[in-house]
Amino acid sequence: MLRKARIDDVKTIHRMINLSSGKGEMLPRSLMDIYNSLRDFFVYYHDDELQVIGICAMNIIWENLAEIRSLYVDENYRKQGIGRELVEACISEAITLGLFKVFTLTYKKEFFIQLGFKEIDRSLLPEKIWSDCFRCSKYPDYCDEIAMIAEL
């Protein structure tokens, strides 16, 4: 079941992001950052166990640009379409808000190609580079994520 995140999901979201970060799949985020951006998140939970098994956020970057970020699905539930549903929910929200360009920085190029994203050069995302990337320990010389964009 897909829904917007709630306050009682924050610690689970934080744990999932930092678990994924420990595997090198995404950057870590603080608990305070999760609280501050909670409205960006969708969660997918397992109906039978009522536990969150997937997360994804849509963050507004600029007047014409949003980012899909913090996509994570529990390893036991991958390859079941949960990631696709989470990203599609974020894209739908972006469209509702009048944002028709959505990008991501990812290691999962093929996954995002299936959702209509195309690879671009990171230099085409200046608002992103100066907001989050600038604070990353991999910036500027060691970034290995792939920049991708979808025009909706």
Instruction: Return d(Cα 47, Cα 133) in angstroms, integer.
Output: 36
pTM of the model: 0.91
Output the pLDDT for position 139: 65
The predicted structure's pLDDT at residue 128:
64
Q: Which domains does the chain have, with CATH numbers?
A: 2-151 (3.40.630.30)
Check whether the bond before 140 is cis (ω within 30° of 0). Answer: yes
Q: What sign results for the dihedral spanned by CA atoms 47, 9, 74, 44? A: positive
CA 72, CA 61: separation in Å to the nearest integer? Answer: 20
Phi and psi at residue 39, in whole multiples of 5°? -70, -10
Task: Fill in the amino acid letter for 106.
Answer: T
117 contacts 91 by C-beta, under 8 angstroms: no
pLDDT of residue 142: 63
For residues 14 and 49, what is the distance between their CA atoms, to the nearest angstrom? 19
The two tokens of residue 112 are 């995002």
Residues 6+ apart with CB under 8 A from 135: none
Confidence (pLDDT) at 135 = 64
Q: Cβ–Cβ contacts within 10 Å for residue 13, how many?
A: 23
At residue 27, the pLDDT reads: 83
Query: What is the edge-to-edge ordering of all strands in the sheet holding 146-151?
Result: 2-4, 41-46, 51-62, 65-73, 101-106, 146-151, 118-119
Average pLDDT per consecutive 10 residues, the chain (152 residues; last block may be shorter): 97 97 88 97 87 96 93 96 98 97 94 97 74 64 84 94
